[in-house]
Amino acid sequence: MADRRFSRGGPVAPTLDSEIAYLKGAGPAIAQRLRALDLHCVRDLLFHLPLRYEDRRRHTPLAHLRPDEEALVRGRIVAAEVRIAGRRTLRVVLDDGSGGLLLRFFHFNEAQRQAFAVGRWVQAYGTVRAGPGGPEMVHPQYRIADAAEVLQPDADLTPVYPLTTGITQSRLRALIDRALEIAATDADLLTPLPGVDGPATLEALRIIHHPSTAADAEALLAHTHPAQRRLAREELLAHQLGMRLLRAHLKSRPAPVIRRPQAAIAELLGVLPFAPTAAQRRVLDEVAQDLASSRPMLRLVQGDVGSGKTVIAAAALLAAYRDGLQAVLVAPTELLAEQHLRTLTAWFAPLGIAPLFLSQRVKKRERAHVIAALAAQRPAIAVGTHALLQEGVDYARLALTVVDEQHRFGVQQRLALRDKAGHLAPHQLIMSATPIPRTLAQTIYADLDVSVIDELPPGRTPVTTVVLSNARRDEVVMRIGEACRQGRQAYWVCTLIEQSEELNAEAAAATAARLREELPQLRIGLVHGRMRPEEKDAQMRAFKEGATQLLVATTVIEVGVDVPNASIMVIDNAERLGLAQLHQLRGRVGRGAGQSQCVLLYQSPLGEMARARLETLRATTDGFAIAQRDLELRGPGELLGRRQTGEIGMRLADPVRDAALLADLQRLADDWLIHHPALAQRLIRRWVGDPERYAQV
Ligand code: ADP
Ligand code: MG
């Protein structure tokens, strides 16, 4: 990569676009670690927002320390010793004239030990605990000096940022401060934005990183500070602009008109073993209208797990086929693709249509056959994985792409599909089982029209959910054994320990081993993310066919797999998962006619938020209600700078909390695209990333 520090004239000052490695105090190793926080260039540092603030603006007299409160203190060292009895501990006693404080360190080196010399001064910041002999702090942050005057409190509140391994708060603070300095030289951040009021961008960022009053900090934590409102508006506007451009580009080419889609829908409904729900009917009509137009359809179909999205996909595929065109259904995994193939093959058989199938696993001869069929000027329906999008697979008449379980598919994949259609833009149907409230959908997918299947097929018995402490695990194991002996099947889900598939695989293997000991008569399978895809599929298949009765799994089973006979799910350490994920997991059971159970095991003690999440799940099975609750729980009062999920990709705005701003911003976005197109590009760049990503589409 070119060294961006140097232009032909010599070293140049870093700009907001420079890589972090070129900042003073950074370097390649630090930059590498910061990538884990999604921090790449200087600009990213500006938008890495504090989780909270610490007040180090005054020293608390030692006599006034209260347990469980955080405090900045200053005192003279009156004793320092290493205790060997029990755990090796460095104990430092401070005195400030008003009272005393004991500092305790378990990890320390010789230099640190020596620095705590009696008579010197320490400034420390930490949480106060009530010890046997008075107040204590364990591993506080500290500075040591020979004179008290050197140790002064901070002028502003101190930001506390989300961290990653190998990066300290002070390092990150210094880098962010440097980024703020660089920002001050960036003319772009000073440009007034028509229609967006409040403190200017740079000023707003400064306030967020360094509020100077407790009132500011409080308002920031409550998300009511004008600086935040300003930036949230900017960010939402940038997203609206980006999505509008994306949509405009996608719509700039005509789509093949699909004639008589309603006839195809009627044909499909004629062969289905059930009648569509009213919600399915409505969405079928919406899709039919889109297909019959020469404007490319860009439609997201949202429906809870089990709401019957496949029917919509099948009807659209059939419509294209019946009009002599080609259509593909792409699934995120081999297993899901095969499941779709089975379903569609069964439904289409009476109509004399056999879908093609393509995945990594398809053998050479069969692959060649499929590729030839798609390259020919003949109607076709193909089901498969992203193998359908790869180079070498060309379509003569691609008119429609259906993408299932959208959250595993980015914009890039959708673009790859579009490019398969030559000069025409194929219609796109995207199916998502992640229910999101409509306001949120409009923000995240402003480039898509949204249809909602808000009704489940009749005759389903909702899953009953119980929340149990881990202390009752034995009882649960016994009941699972009992149920499996009676012919039922169960999942035992092990949750993420860390972001390490390795560790999770180990944990799942250990759980399986333990369960095999506890339930020797059961046939127990195991599936986790470290297995090769063939192994994974073999395990899933064995479970599906009933060869195994209990399947121990990591969260890899989350997406769309259908085993109707599985009617019990145990989720270990359920408190670790978010609501949406728990809901997705639970959706794996309750697919048959009988009553299904979900057991959420938790590790005590349960935090307030985790309790609220588990209680929500116990109380309802409605995915939209759960999604709404999820956003409420994560919404107001949430940690200030926490990034939303990658799905939403917002730094600061919360589309639910800030929903009231949206209508106004949508109008503003339209206005900007007409009157300030260049500014629009700059704002997209500031908040969303490279506008070329949109320009290229
Ligand atoms: P999802 O929305 O999760 O993809 P599916 O399309 O897999 O849901 O449908 C779940 C199950 O419900 C399937 O077995 C399907 O055949 C069945 N199904 C779909 N629509 C109906 C309906 N209207 N009446 C009865 N069963 C239905
Ligand atoms: Mg599905």
Picking from 86-90, 150-154, 272-276, 476-480, which range would have the lowest pLDDT averaged per residue? Answer: 86-90
Do 283 and 372 lie in one domain? The reply is: yes
Closest CA to 648 of 162, 16, 657, 499: 657
- Closest-lying ligand 1 atom to the alpha carbon of residue 272: 16
With a 6 A CB cut-off, is 225 part of the ligand 1 pocket? no
With a 6 A CB cut-off, is 296 part of the ligand 1 pocket? no
Q: What is residue 669's predicted lDDT score, i.e. its pLDDT? A: 92
Residue of 280, 283, 304, 311 best suited for mutating to test ligand 1, as the one with most atoms within 8 Å of CB: 311
Enumerate residues 6+ apart whose C-beta is below 8 A from 78: 93, 94, 95, 100, 118
Q: What is residue 652's predicted lDDT score, i.e. its pLDDT? A: 76
Distance CA 427, CA 296 (A): 5
Q: What is residue 636's predicted lDDT score, i.e. its pLDDT? A: 34
With a 6 A CB cut-off, is 587 part of the ligand 1 pocket? no
Ligand 2 centroid–CA 296 distance in Å is: 23
With a 6 A CB cut-off, is 313 part of the ligand 1 pocket? no
Ligand 1 centroid–CA 307 distance in Å is: 6
Stronger pLDDT, 86 or 109, i.e. the higher one: 109
Domain count, the chain: 4
Pick the residue whose CA is nearest to atom 19 on ligand 1. 308
690 assigned to some structural domain: no
Residue type, 591: R
Please report, for residues 265, 603, 681, the alpha-carbon distance to residue 530 in angstroms, rounded to integers and kept in the order given. 41, 25, 42
237 assigned to some structural domain: no
Do 392 and 430 lie in one domain? The reply is: yes
Boundary-marking domain end, from 620, 653, 668: 620
Ligand 2 centroid–CA 237 distance in Å is: 33
Mean predicted confidence (pLDDT) in 330-346 = 88
Residue of 284, 307, 461 best suited for mutating to test ligand 1, as the one with most atoms within 8 Å of CB: 307
pTM over 0.75: no
With a 6 A CB cut-off, is 433 part of the ligand 1 pocket? yes
Mind listing the pLDDT tens digit for each residue in 529-542? 788 878 888 898 89
Q: Are 105 and 89 in contact (CB under 8 A)?
A: yes
- Closest-lying ligand 1 atom to the alpha carbon of residue 307: 2
Task: Give the alpha-carbon dihedral of 608, 612, 615, 616, to 10 degrees.
Answer: -170
541 assigned to some structural domain: yes
DSSP state of 19: B
With a 6 A CB cut-off, is 310 part of the ligand 1 pocket? yes
Q: What is residue 533's predicted lDDT score, i.e. its pLDDT? A: 73
661 assigned to some structural domain: no
517: CATH: 3.40.50.300
Q: Are 484 and 572 in contact (CB under 8 A)?
A: no
245 assigned to some structural domain: no
Distance CA 250, CA 426 (A): 10
Ligand 1 centroid–CA 318 distance in Å is: 17
Please report, for residues 114, 150, 231, the alpha-carbon distance to residue 118 in angstroms, rounded to integers and kept in the order given. 10, 17, 49
Q: What is residue 417's predicted lDDT score, i.e. its pLDDT? A: 62
676 assigned to some structural domain: no
Ligand 2 centroid–CA 493 distance in Å is: 20
Boundary-marking domain end, from 97, 132, 153: 153
Range of the domain at 19: 6-52+160-222
Enumerate residues 6+ apart whose C-beta is below 8 A from 72: 55, 56, 57, 58, 59, 60, 123, 124, 125, 153
Task: Give the alpha-carbon dihedral of 429, 433, 434, 438, to 10 degrees.
Answer: 60
Do 427 and 510 lie in one domain? The reply is: no
341 assigned to some structural domain: yes
Residue 602 has pLDDT above 60, yes or no: yes
Mean predicted confidence (pLDDT) in 242-262 = 86
Boundary-marking domain end, from 422, 453, 484: 453
Do 98 and 193 lie in one domain? The reply is: no
Closest CA to 106 of 78, 82, 126: 82
Residue 145 has pLDDT above 70, yes or no: yes
Tracing tokens 């193998």 back to the chain, one arrives at 387
239 assigned to some structural domain: no
